[in-house]
Amino acid sequence: MTTGAEAGRPTRLMSLGLVAGPILSMVDSSVVNLAVPDLTRELGRPLDVVQWAVSGYLLALAVGLGLTSYLARRFGLVPTYIGSLVLFTLASAACALSPDAGTLICCRALQGLGGAPLVPLAIGLLIGEGGAATGARGRVPLAAGLAFFAAPALGVSLGGLLIGAYGWRSIFLINLPIGLLALPGAFAAYRAGLGVRGDRAVRPDLPGLVLLATGLGLATYGVERVAAHGWATPSWPAGLALLAAYVLWARRRPRAALALDLVRDGARAATLALCAVSSVVLFAVLFLAPLYLQTIQHHSSLVTGLALLPQGLAMGLSAPLGQRVAERRSVRFAVVLGMVLLTVMTGLMALFTPDTPVWLTTLVLCGRGLAIGFTSQPLVISLLGGLAPERVPDANTLFSVAQRLAGSFGIALLVTFFTTRGAATGSPLTGFHETALVLAATALLGTLGATRLRLPQVS
């Protein structure tokens, strides 16, 4: 009798294990922001200290991303995934039990290190190497699509509910049952031989790892501090300089820490650029929409979270639909369709007023969610298309790094633009409208780029 995996499809238990990890990582990237006021009050430390519970996580997440590709090549996708999931779950328990701010910050850094590999490894196992093993390479289960795309919005909604009802420790405690439920599925994938191949002969590119991890960390940390300290902070230029040094170093290394040779193919480079553009438009609105609902319309954090949640669900539901359109027509057709819809729906945000009903705002955001699902899923398939299974971890890590850098810098630039225009015009609403138009123009540029999209070469 064959198992589900042997029959050509992953079992439900395995899918649960591979989907839960990314949910944990993506939710925790945003949820702690909501708890900062409570942390400041209960831990008795100033804001600039408590803020490190957020900054430390993002810093460690960036460093962990730099290590992901090497760990996956050395130990295999599933063993690395299991180790990361265990570290993240244990660190979550330690965060919930932290007696002071210093302990919390250290535990959050461990969370970031454990959480960094979960998203790229899960993508590789579900639509890359794992898909190849199950006869469904390039296809993502509906549950996975919902998880990957709904998680950022879910973090805001769930976080507000938990903090309001049970306090800040609950946002870490909720990770424990999810992590424990995910482990049996991850071990089932290991026993099925899914993504377990590693090469112990692989040696770390230590200079490259130092340049990449330090550069990503400094760039991410510096950009995250821009809103409070302005662009004069030296961290992000230093981070970009180190990343530039890494690029020069990696050009001479066939198996560098982050495989930049993948973007020598112009089609794959264009695909990665479109991924970055869609990430900027996505993550920026996760900043802009709460600001509009809370600052301009004066809604509560609970109403804001509930208004954002349907957008994430629309993203998840549209991902399989976008995948089918790409298969029946072409990747280019699906991406162009998604980018056009993204341009229109983002442009409609420039028509919002202080009296716009919440349901109408939610409807427009759902339209954006539908567009992102059409765009992101075919682009990921295109990025992985033609790659040998052993190259999938490299491509997934490259995708995650590009997405995080683009999202971080995009949000920082748009926050600066919004603040500047709001102050110049004396109207936050005007600043919001102009920022929405900038985002719509960015999506339009992505649409023009998508019309020239080609499938990457086999490598």
Q: Which of 45-49, 76-80, 93-97, 170-174 has the highest mean pLDDT?
A: 93-97
- The answer to whether residue 318 is domain-embedded is yes
SS3 356: coil
Q: Provide the pLDDT for residue 133.
A: 36
Residues 385 and 447 in one domain: yes
Q: Provide the pLDDT for residue 363.
A: 93
Average pLDDT over residues 367-378: 82
Residues 249 and 236 in one domain: yes
Domain count, the chain: 3
Cβ neighbors of 413 (< 8 A, separation 6 or more) are none
Q: Provide the pLDDT for residue 444.
A: 92
Q: Provide the pLDDT for residue 330.
A: 83
Count other C-beta atoms under 10 Å from residue 296's C-beta: 17
Residues 157 and 305 in one domain: no
Residues 158 and 288 in one domain: no
Task: Give the least confident one: 85-94, 117-126, 294-303, 385-394.
Answer: 385-394
- Split at pLDDT 50, 70, 90, the class of 95 is very high
Average pLDDT over residues 374-397: 74
Cβ neighbors of 239 (< 8 A, separation 6 or more) are 214, 215, 216, 217, 218, 219, 220, 221, 222
Residues 285 and 251 in one domain: no
Q: Provide the pLDDT for residue 141.
A: 55
Q: Provide the pLDDT for residue 404.
A: 76
Residues 187 and 211 in one domain: no
Nearest to 294 by CA among 236, 361, 346, 239: 361
- The answer to whether residue 5 is domain-embedded is no
Please report, as a single letter, which amino acid is at residue 387: L
Q: Provide the pLDDT for residue 134.
A: 36
137 pLDDT more than 70: no
Asked whether 383 and 455 are in contact (CB, 8 A), the reply is: no
| pTM confidence score | 0.75
CATH label of the domain that carries residue 308:
1.20.1250.20
- The answer to whether residue 248 is domain-embedded is yes
Average pLDDT over residues 232-244: 88
1 pLDDT more than 50: no
Q: Which of 1-15, 189-203, 429-443 has the highest mean pLDDT?
A: 429-443
Domain boundary among 233, 256, 279: 256
- The answer to whether residue 193 is domain-embedded is yes
- The answer to whether residue 4 is domain-embedded is no
Q: Provide the pLDDT for residue 135.
A: 38
SS3 366: helix
259 pLDDT more than 70: yes
Residues 214 and 356 in one domain: no
Average pLDDT over residues 251-274: 76
Mean pLDDT of the chain: 79
Residue span of the structural domain in which 299 resides: 261-459
Q: Provide the pLDDT for residue 132.
A: 38
Q: Which of 23-27, 99-103, 252-256 has the highest mean pLDDT?
A: 99-103
Token digits of residue 378? 């075919």
Q: Provide the pLDDT for residue 5.
A: 44
Distance CA 223, CA 228 (A): 10
436 pLDDT more than 70: yes
- The answer to whether residue 2 is domain-embedded is no
Residues 224 and 83 in one domain: no
- The answer to whether residue 344 is domain-embedded is yes
Residues 145 and 40 in one domain: yes
Please say whether the dihedral angle defined by the alpha carbons of residues 59, 405, 264 and 396, taken in this order, is positive or negative: positive
Residues 84 and 40 in one domain: yes
Q: Provide the pLDDT for residue 191.
A: 82
Q: Which of 14-28, 286-300, 302-316, 418-432 has the highest mean pLDDT?
A: 418-432
- Split at pLDDT 50, 70, 90, the class of 440 is very high
The pLDDT tens digits for 391-406 are 776 777 787 788 778 8
Q: Provide the pLDDT for residue 459.
A: 52
**DSSP conformational letter for 297:** S
Q: Which residue has the higher pLDDT, 378 or 316?
A: 378
Q: Provide the pLDDT for residue 3.
A: 37
Q: Provide the pLDDT for residue 356.
A: 93
- The answer to whether residue 440 is domain-embedded is yes
- CA–CA distances in Å: residue 182 to residues 12, 24, 255: 11, 10, 31
Average pLDDT over residues 268-287: 80
Residues 301 and 247 in one domain: no
Q: Which residue has the higher pLDDT, 290 or 334?
A: 334
Q: Provide the pLDDT for residue 7.
A: 38
Distance CA 267, CA 384 (A): 12
Q: Which residue has the higher pLDDT, 156 or 16?
A: 16
455 pLDDT more than 70: no
The C-alpha torsion from 418 through 419 and 425 to 429, rounded to 10°, is: 50
Residues 318 and 450 in one domain: yes
Q: Provide the pLDDT for residue 410.
A: 81
How many Å separate Cα 124 from the centre of its chain? 14
